[in-house]
Structure 1
Amino acid sequence: MINAILQVPLFSIIPFIWWFFTARKKESFQAWLGFHKPIITYKGAYFALCLLAIALFIVPLQALVFFYIDSSLLASNQFVDLGLTGLFPALSYAIIQTGLSEELLFRGFLLKRLARWFGFQMGNILQSLMFGCIHGAMLWSVLPVFVLLLIVLATAFAGYIMGWLNERLSGGSILTSWAIHSMANFLAAGMSIFQIL
C-alpha cells in the first residue's frame, strides 16, 4: 500500500511541473490530464475495444510468462499463494500503484502533449512505444531479445489501443484506460493469488 501511495506522486511530478509552467492559468491539473467523466461515443465499439485492450494485456503476456519467463520475476509474484488475504493488496497494486500512476504519465501526460506536437496518430504511437519499452526495460537483463521484443510490442499495442479509446471514444478522459489497465493488472495479480497459471 505504501508503494502504491508513493508511486502516484512520483509519476505525477513531471506532469505537474509541466502543467504549472504551461497551463495552470488555462485549466485545472485534473482537467489537463483528462480526469473527467468519459463522453462515450459508439458505445458498442467502445465496450468491444475495452475488452480487446484487456485481452491484449493479459493473453500475450500470460502466454509469454507461461512459455518463456520465470513468473517469480514479475511484480504480480508478490501475491503468490496469498488467497483471499491478497485481494486488498492486489487491488491497491492494480488500481493505484500501476493503473493510476502509469495512466497519469503515459495517457494523461505524454499522449496529450505528443499529440499536440506531432498529431494524434504519431503521438499515440510514440507514447505506446515508450509504454512498451518501460515494461521491457524491467526485464531486459533476464530475457532473450526476441521475448523482450514480444513484451515491448504486446504492451505497446495495448497502450496504443488505450490511447485511442481515451482520445477517440471517451472524449479525452483517462478514466477509460485507467479502468482497463487496473482490471488487466488485477487479473494478472489474481492469477498469482490463486496460482491459476
Structure 2
Amino acid sequence: MQLILNSISTAAVNLLVFSAIPFLWWFFRHRKETSFFRWLGFIKPKLNGKWWTLVVFAIIYYFFYTFDFTRWIPQETMDYLENSGSVSVNAFAGIGAAAILPALIENFIANGVAEEILYRGFLCKLFCHKLGTVKGILLQAALFGLMHNALYLLAGLQVGLWYHTLMFLFTGMAALLLGWLNEKIYNGSILPSILLHGAGNFISSMLTAFSFL
C-alpha cells in the first residue's frame, strides 16, 4: 500500500511540476484560441502519409528499445546503480506482482503523461513552430537527454562522465523518436508518445520486479 501511495504522490508532483510552465504559457498567450489540452496535442491520432511509415518506425523503435546500452557500462557502476535508493525503478526490484499497480501509475502518469506534456506537448511544438519540425524535434530531444543527466546529478549519483554521455544519447534518441512519431507520422497528437513512453518504462519496471534484469 505504501508503494502505491508513493507512486500516486510522485505522479501528482510530476504532473504539477511538468505542467506548470506549459499551463502558464497557454494561459497568457493562447487561452483565447483553443483549450489547454488541445493546444498540447491531446487530440485523436491520425496517421499522416502511408501506413508503411509507421511499420518502419515500429521496427526502428523495437531495435532501439531492445538494444542493451548497459553492456558498455562498467559492472561496478551497474552494481552501484542497482543498489541505490535514488534510482526509482529499484523500488520495484524483486517484488513481482505487487509492483504492477504502482508501476502503472508511476510509468504512465508520472513519466508518460507528465513528461510528454512538457517535452512533446509544449517544448517540441514550440520549437517546431519557431525553428521548423526537424530542428524542433532535435532540440527537444537534446533537452530531454540533459534533463536525465541533471536528475542524476541532483540525486547525487556518482556515475561518471561516460555514463552521463550514454544516458544523454539513449534518452535523447528516445525523445527524438517520440517527437518524430507525433509530429511527422501522426498529426501532432501526443497520445502515441504517451502510450509508447509509458509502456516502455512499464516493461522495464516489470523486468526489474520479476527479476529478469
TM-score (normalised: structure 1)? 0.91
* 1:59 maps onto 2:75 in alignment: no
Q: Which has the higher Rg, Structure 1 or Structure 2?
A: 2
Of 39-48 and 7-16, more deviation after overlay is shown by 39-48
Alignment gaps of 5+ in structure 2: 1-7
Which deviates further from its counterpart, 4-13 or 103-112?
Answer: 4-13
- CA distance in 2: counterparts of 1:92 and 1:135, whole angstroms: 20
Please name the residue that 1:37 is paired with.
Answer: 44
Mark the runs of 5 or more structure 1 residues left unpaired by the alignment: none
How far apart, CA to CA, are the structure 2 residues paired with 1:164 and 1:60? 22
Deviation at residue 101 of structure 1 after TM alignment: 0.5
1:66 & 1:192 partners in 2: Cα distance? 19
Counterpart residue identity of residue 52, structure 1? I
Per-residue Cα deviation, 1:100-159 (whole angstroms, up to 9, x for no partner): 100000000000011111111111111000001111222244112122101101110110
Paired with 1:17 and 1:163, the residues of 2 have a C-alpha distance of 22
Secondary structure of 1:139's match?
helix
What is the letter of the counterpart of residue 9 of structure 2?
I
Judge conservation of contact 1:57–1:155 (CA < 8 Å) in 2. no
Tell me whether 1:49 sits opposite 2:65 in the alignment. no
SS of 1:36's partner is coil
Instruction: Give the Cα separation in 2 of the matches to 1:112 and 1:53.
Output: 21
Aligned 1:67-106 pairs, distance under 5 A: 67=75, 68-69=77-78, 70-73=81-84, 74-106=87-119
Give the aligned partner of residue 152 of structure 1. Answer: 168
After superposition, the CA RMSD in angstroms is 1.9
More displaced stretch, 112-121 vs 44-53: 44-53
Bigger shift: residues 79-88 or 52-61: 52-61
Change (3 A) 1:151 1:2: same
Provide closer, same or farther for how the CA distance between residues 93 and 135 of structure 1 changes in structure 2, counting only shifts above 3 A: same
The alpha-carbon distance between structure 1 residues 30 and 63, as it changes in their structure 2 partners (threshold 3 A), is farther
Structure 1 Cα separation of the partners of residues 172 and 33 of structure 2: 31
Map 1:137-176 onto structure 2 (within 5 A): 137-140=150-153, 141-176=157-192
Q: Secondary structure at the match of 1:138?
A: helix
Equivalent residue, structure 1, for 2:4: none
Between the two proteins, the alignment pairs up a number of residues equal to: 197
CA distance in 2, matches of 1:163, 1:8: 19
**Matches of 1:184 and 1:64 in 2, distance apart?**
21
Aligned position for 2:212: 196
